[in-house]
Amino acid sequence: MREKERAIFIDFEFTMPDRHSKRRGFYQEIIEAGIVLVEKGQIIEQFSSFVVPVRFPVLTERCRSFLNITQKQVDGGISFHELVLKLKALESQRPGLVITWGNMDMKVLRHNCQQAGAEFPLNGREVDLSMEYKRFFGDQNQTGLWKAVQEYGREGTGRHHRALDDALTTYHIYKLVEKDKQYLQKPQPTTIGDRVDFSKLFNKFA
């Protein structure tokens, strides 16, 4: 199976500090995960869950307000170790592409794994689709996920800053960009043999 025939689209939401608080040792932790597994252009599995943060389990007001996530929702989520096991199971020894919008998702996942003493669960080649989008369109600045999909004249899936909705929106943008790349690929120049059927020509003069 070619690398591009299998891809995992991932979006995480993280904890946030209050604007003026100085929590000693604070670092961002995953509190919601949205994952879309795609094989040969078909969605094989979707996964969505809240995740209980380990270091700072109580969400800040800023975090709850910005993400519209309640403390009760997060408290009822899976553990971080369960998330790691889920990611490992989805890859199932067949690494493909691991596609995110921006590089923060993988940075935070790696750091959370280090803090929890867990092995990083993904082996596939990581693709920051926001950088691919920036290079493809020659933008100076990185574009936000939902702004990018709106530039295509579309709307994002569901609600922004909900992990599964953002993962699905990332997948939709990926398909649109890949389609545009195909349009720009130069066709192979035809040879004279492609343009003239020599067998008919020879028969005519035989």
Is 161 one of the annotated active-site residues of the chain?
A: yes
- Domain for residue 183, yes or no? no
Residue type, 174: Y
127 DSSP assignment: E
Active-site residue flag, 82: no
Residue 139 lies in a domain: yes
What CATH number should be reported for the domain holding residue 78?
Answer: 3.30.420.10
Residue 39 lies in a domain: yes
One DSSP character per residue, 143-161 reads: PPHHHHHHHTT---SS-TT
**In-domain check, residue 73:** yes
Per-residue pLDDT of the chain (206 residues; tens, 9 = 90+): 455 689 999 999 999 998 876 778 899 999 999 999 999 989 999 999 999 999 999 999 999 999 999 999 999 999 999 999 999 999 876 888 999 999 999 999 999 999 999 999 999 999 999 998 888 776 666 677 767 777 766 665 656 779 999 999 999 999 988 887 776 655 555 554 455 454 554 455 44
Is residue 150, in this structure, part of any structural domain at all? yes
Q: Which domain holds residue 137?
A: 3-17+26-178
Among residues 82, 111, 132, 161, the one annotated as catalytic is 161
* SS3 at position 32: strand
Asked, for residue 190, whether it belongs to a domain, the answer is no
Catalytic residue among 3, 5, 13, 132: 13
Answer yes or no: is 128 within a domain. yes
SS3 state of residue 78: strand
Tell me if 184 is assigned to some domain: no
Total number of domains in the chain: 1
